[in-house]
Chains A and B, each alone.
Chain A
Amino acid sequence: NAGVTQTPKFQVLKTGQSMTLQCAQDMNHEYMSWYRQDPGMGLRLIHYSVGAGITDQGEVPNGYNVSRSTTEDFPLRLLSAAPSQTSVYFCASKTGVYNYGYTFGSGTRLTVV
């Protein structure tokens, strides 16, 4: 049981490049979400999904796109990377049942130069 798998672990992009951060879970969790973590700030929600075909914006969605075509996968797309998107990105999932906590991926450290 792998839990939540994020790839890649590290990435360096040039300004204006695009890329997709991958997130996959094998726990059949309905809910998946993306966060960014910046120094001195708490994690902030970018986008989330409550099930296949359903996505919604979080606190900081600008510059990011998501889709949820399957229960297992929730990729995060940066269409035109900017230095302000330099951050550590975490994907997390949880079952729709109310009393269960979150399972986090190991994170992706992204640097945009």
Chain B
Amino acid sequence: KNEVEQSPQNLTAQEGEFITINCSYSVGISALHWLQQHPGGGIVSLFMLSSGKKKHGRLIATINIQEKHSSLHITASHPRDSAVYICAVGPNTDKLIFGTGTRLQVFP
């Protein structure tokens, strides 16, 4: 069993829909990261969180440490949000364990 599981693997949405991507992990962590990988391959760090909730624009990330679960929400989705979203956890501050990603396609 992978230490970081993401669901769904693939997600298709219409523009404007509310999107939720889930991440469950089985190891103790010091922090959880959400990353976005563009169709061209570049990777951007979206959030790093160790408790509670963070918001940046239309993106919201939450984490429940007790349940070992995090969610990434996208409000009012747009075609430019189409990307692979990757969850990664850090058992310590030096190493990350990555999920396999959720591929999101948003159609106009």
Chain A residues at the B interface, C-beta cutoff of 8 Å: 31, 35, 40-45, 48, 50, 56, 58-59, 88, 90, 92, 98-104, 106-107, 109
Contacts and interface: CB of A to CB of B under 8 A. Distances in A.
Interface residues of B, number: 25
A107 B45 contact: no
Interface of B: 2, 4, 30-31, 33, 35, 41-48, 86, 88, 93-101
B48 A99 contact: yes
Q: Which 8 A-B pairs have the closest CB atoms?
A: A42-B98, A101-B45, A104-B43, A101-B48, A43-B98, A42-B100, A102-B45, A107-B41
8 contacts: A42-B86, A50-B94, A56-B94, A98-B93, A101-B47, A102-B96, A103-B45, A107-B42
